[in-house]
Structure 1
Amino acid sequence: MGALSNLRVLDLTQVLAGPYCTMLLADMGADVVKIERPGGDLIRSNPPYVDDPEEEAYGGYFQSVNRGKKSLELDFNDDEDRADFLSLVEEADVVIENYRAGTMEKYDLGYETLREHNPQLIYSSIRGFGDPRTGETHRQGQPSFDLIAQALGGVMEITGQEDGPPTKVGPGIGDLFTATLNCIGILAAVNHREQTGEGQYVDTGMYDSMLSMTERAIYQQSYTGEAPTRQGNSHPTLFPYDAFETADGYAVVAAFGTNHWRELCSALDRPDLAEEYPTAADRLEHREELRAQIADWAADLETDDLVDRLEGRVPAAPVQTTEEIFDDPHVRDRDMLVPVEQPGTGEDVEIAGNPIKMTATPPEPRGRAPLLDEHREDVLGEESEVTADD
């Protein structure tokens, strides 16, 4: 039994932001019913596959963020399906959708309608630019994806090499961070309802979330009047805090504290640097020449050797590939790679585990992602045309 096993969530989301949010809820025990449009979530067919896309029910993208959910296929243009959905709303705790603003209203299934069927309902939306109910802007109704959010929210402007172009962060943080904040908002609304009996609307916008994530750039602009820009792997106010090329890869070193700086100078066999640049301000002022000293030292060492010399004394780590992550015993010891069935292969695949650890009700992926409409009988009492062997 998970911490949220008392909650039923109707998940109308697709692609990444919404499904990641509801995945977190499902990992924590919520009964998440994924309400899919005819044909299913857009990413069901996205690669990669283990072997044969014709035989496998879905690819890794869908599997990763939809594990542990139930699936029900409904068409809101169909009166019977719409009635079935409303019957589920009456018993639900949470409804989540990530359509453009106004889409649910086209089906007369907006928050105000659903609240009439269930006054205690928590209705949550994830949109590119938020919902008019919580702050109307000219951007609402525009489509948005991770790339758009990262560009508008300042992430790309401060990411990349100094002499290079604005660069997107690798993981889809415009989706993932927004989804995580939305999950927090839902849980706060659940707690409020427990105290008052009152449901509410929870709205999280991707653009807003990226502004929250780039908080450092925001206060820098306010304090200095200058727009922060790209600094590669370095930090605007901390040094050394950077990546250094080694003889066989890269390692990162974070020795901005005076105690760590002294230890780093000892490892470099340069105690004179610790004496000459004793304060953080000194080191920032002379960061370029000091960086060159560290870079020369790192270039002659293999990554493991560099990390071994600093481990326990200075925060340092190798820049790992995914293959190296899979070989890291820490990852296995923390249950951060979880096997799930891949339908159509007879094999298991591994997906990322849940980083939230709890002693009494530990979150965990609760089985594979669902087949399309697999749980119709479970949810509505009607027989489905699909089976777990499809």
Structure 2
Amino acid sequence: MAGPLEGIRVLDLSRILAGPWSTQLLSDLGADVIKVERPGSGDDTRAWGPPFLAREDGTPTAESAYFLCANRGKRSITVDVSSEAGQAVLRELAKTADVFVENYKCGDMRRYGLDYDTLAELNPRLVYCSITGFGQTGPYSHRAGYDFVVQAMGGLMSITGECDDLPGGGPQKCGVPISDLMTGMYASVAIVSALFERVESARGQYIDMSLLDTQVAWLANQASNFLVAGSEPRRWGNAHPNLAPYQSFATSNGALIVAVGNDRQFGALCGALDLGELARDERYTTNAARLKHRESLVCLLANRFRGRDTAAWLVGLEAAGVPCGPIHSIPQALSDPQVRSRGMVFSLPHGSGAIAPQIANPIKFSRSTVEYRRAPPVLGEHTDDILSRDLGWSADRISVLRKGGTI
């Protein structure tokens, strides 16, 4: 079976992460993604290294690991978007595209004649997605948006990190640019939804995606806690605001996490720790009671966990049906037998002659396929192919554009 988006063409004018993450997902699902890049330098993240991909003999390529994580499966064309000739090239490509994705500042696309209204006149079926830090409307719409800034402004950092009164306490950003990543995921859902709607309406539409909107949207239970109770959520470190015990514990040689989600699991935990009396103690019999008496409960559990090593505890807890797990480093996570058995790490031959390691798409269909047709492209790798095969332009016409610096 082909990918479910086979036959869909995406014109991708996005850079950095939120947009490229979205379009990589569309590519994995079968879409033909044409990545438009600046001649000479390309997507900013190509230079975001080290580390850079190396060939088998150890010689480095120009491809950063950062760029490799978000641009699999795409065809790269270099076009000077700021030039009239380059804008004409992109309008020609937009005529045959199903989706147009961009993350330029508000107003830039209109100034270039590449805004939704202009392109919709050429291609009424076009689904056009703009991704910015703060959206197309509102008092901050003119601001440039960065993941780190949005994590701070959107409330995430206020609930991430250790409590203020503990060593290392204070607001922390997430270890990956999660606002970018989640905006890319929401954008993909929006794009596919608009394509589905187009089946009936035969018309495209405009999608306005904002990093700040997305960050606020996925505050999830933390925002709901505040809206329902009116109390400001706090940082809990590795603990949970609504469940106990649901946190990390130190062992004799490291640490592990325990994730008790109900009273039955708490009873199983007590049995595995040989602390059966706690399961009968009215201070701990229900989750609400455990939250009220969290401090004393955690103290008792922490003392017991320090008595054995991590591996021994994990065997006992798993046998008892208590949700738990080790705290892996990234190398440990990527070499975990479950991760490997699910095919989450693989490699693709790269145009530079190197082999590009990749993290797989987690979607697994029963009939459709996830497609890994090519590694992240070398800058401008497919320029001639796209202009000649997709637009039918002659070699002479392409040569004129290249000599003029348009491509």
Separation in 2, partners of 1:364, 1:155:
34
Decide which of 328, 332, 345 is 1:337's aligned counterpart: 345
For the 8 Å contact 2:162–2:235, the answer to whether it is kept is yes
Q: Secondary structure at the match of 2:242?
A: coil
Q: How far apart are the structure 1 equivalents of 2:318 and 2:333?
A: 18
**1:40 and 2:36 matched:** no
Q: Distance in 1 between matches of 2:184 and 2:191?
A: 10
Do 2:129 and 2:208's aligned partners in 1 also have CA atoms closer than 8 Å? yes
Equivalent residues in 2 for 1:181-220, closer than 5 Å: 181-220=186-225
Q: Structure 2 vs 1, CA of residues 304 and 350 (structure 1 numbering), >3 Å: closer, same or farther?
A: farther
Shift of 1:361: 1.6
**1:57 touches 1:343 (CA, 8 Å); kept in 2?**
no
Q: Which residue of 2 aligns with 1:178?
A: 183
> Which of 374, 378, 386 matches 1:379?
386
Amino acid at match of 1:173: I
2:52 aligned to 40, 49, 55, which one? 49
Query: What's the CA shift for 1:78?
Result: 2.6
Equivalent position SS for 1:288: helix
Contact 1:44-1:59 at 8 Å conserved across structures? yes
Aligned counterpart, 1:317? 325
Contact 2:53 2:63 in 1 (8 A): no
What is the rounded CA distance, in whole Å, between the counterparts of 1:83 and 1:273 in structure 2? 72
In structure 2, distance between residues paired with 1:140 and 1:366: 37
Q: Distance in 2 between matches of 1:80 and 1:279?
A: 69
- Correspondent of 2:234 among 215, 229, 234: 229
Q: Is the 8 A contact 2:247 2:259 kept in 1?
A: yes
- Give the alignment partner of residue 309 of structure 2, picking from 287, 302, 325: 302
Aligned to 2:151: 150
Q: 2: CA distance between counterparts of 1:42 and 1:213?
A: 27
Residue of structure 2 in register with 1:125 after alignment: 130
What root-mean-square deviation, in Å, do the aligned CA atoms of Structure 1 and Structure 2 show?
1.8
Deviation at 1:89?
0.6
The alignment status of 1:326 with 2:320, answered yes or no, reads: no
Q: Is the CA contact (8 Å cut-off) linking 1:27 and 1:364 kept in structure 2?
A: yes
Work out whether residues 53 and 60 of structure 2, in 8 Å CA contact, stay in contact via their aligned partners in 1. no
CA distance in 2, matches of 1:360, 1:336: 19
Alignment of 1:128-139 (within 5 A): 128-131=133-136, 136-139=137-140
Check conservation: 2:101, 2:128, Cα contact below 8 A.
yes
CA distance, structure 2, for counterparts of residue 27 and residue 248 of structure 1: 41
Q: Which amino acid aligns with 1:298?
A: F
Instruction: Tell whether the 8 Å contact from 2:53 to 2:62 is kept in structure 1 after alignment.
Output: no
The answer on whether the counterparts of 1:250 and 1:303 sit within 8 Å (CA) in structure 2 is: yes
CA contact (8 A) 1:353 1:364 kept: no
Q: 1:262 to 1:55 in 2, by over 3 A?
A: closer
Tell me how far 1:77 sits from its aligned partner: 2.9
Question: Residues of 2 paired with 1:20 and 1:247: CA distance?
Answer: 41
Letter of the 2:6 partner, please give it. S
Aligned to 2:14: 13
Q: Which residue of 2 aligns with 1:166?
A: 171
Instruction: Give CA-to-partner distance per residue, 1:327-367, whole Å, 9 cap, x none.
Output: 211111111112123454x4424221101111212224322
CA separation in 2, counterparts of 1:314 and 1:374?
51
Aligned position for 1:71? 76
Moved over 6 A (4+): none
- Give the percent of matched residue pairs that are identical in Structure 1 and Structure 2: 38
Counterpart amino acid of residue 324 in structure 2 = A
Distance 1:366 1:63 in 2: 14
Mapping for residues 282-293 of structure 1, pairs under 5 Å:
282-293=289-300
Deviations 1:197-242 (A, max 9, x none): 1110111110011111112222222222221121111111111111
* TM-score normalised by the chain length of structure 2: 0.90
Deviates more, 1:66-75 or 1:238-247: 238-247
Q: Given the two structures, how large is their TM-score scaled by the length of structure 1?
A: 0.94
Quick check: 1:15–1:43 contact (8 Å CA) kept in 2?
Answer: yes
Aligned match of 2:405: none
Secondary structure of the 2:213 match is helix
What amino acid does structure 1 have at the position aligned with 2:21? Y
Gaps in structure 1 of 5+ consecutive residues = none
Amino acid at match of 2:344: M
Segments of structure 2 that go 5 or more residues without pairing to the other structure are 403-407
Counterpart contact for 1:354–1:365, Cα < 8 Å: no
Deviations 1:30-50 (A, max 9, x none): 000001122211111222124
Count of residue pairs the alignment pairs up: 381
User: Whole-Å Cα distance in 2 between the matches of residues 76 and 290 of structure 1?
Assistant: 61
Q: Deviations over 1:271-292 (max 9, x none)?
A: 1100112211221111111111
| Partner SS for 2:355 | strand
Q: Does the 8 Å CA contact 1:338/1:350 hold for their aligned counterparts?
A: yes
- 2:263 is the alignment partner of 1:275: no
Shift of 1:268: 1.1
Q: What is the Cα deviation at residue 192 of structure 1?
A: 0.4
Task: Say which is worse superposed, 181-190 or 68-77, in terms of deviation.
Answer: 68-77
Deviates more, 1:49-58 or 1:115-124: 49-58
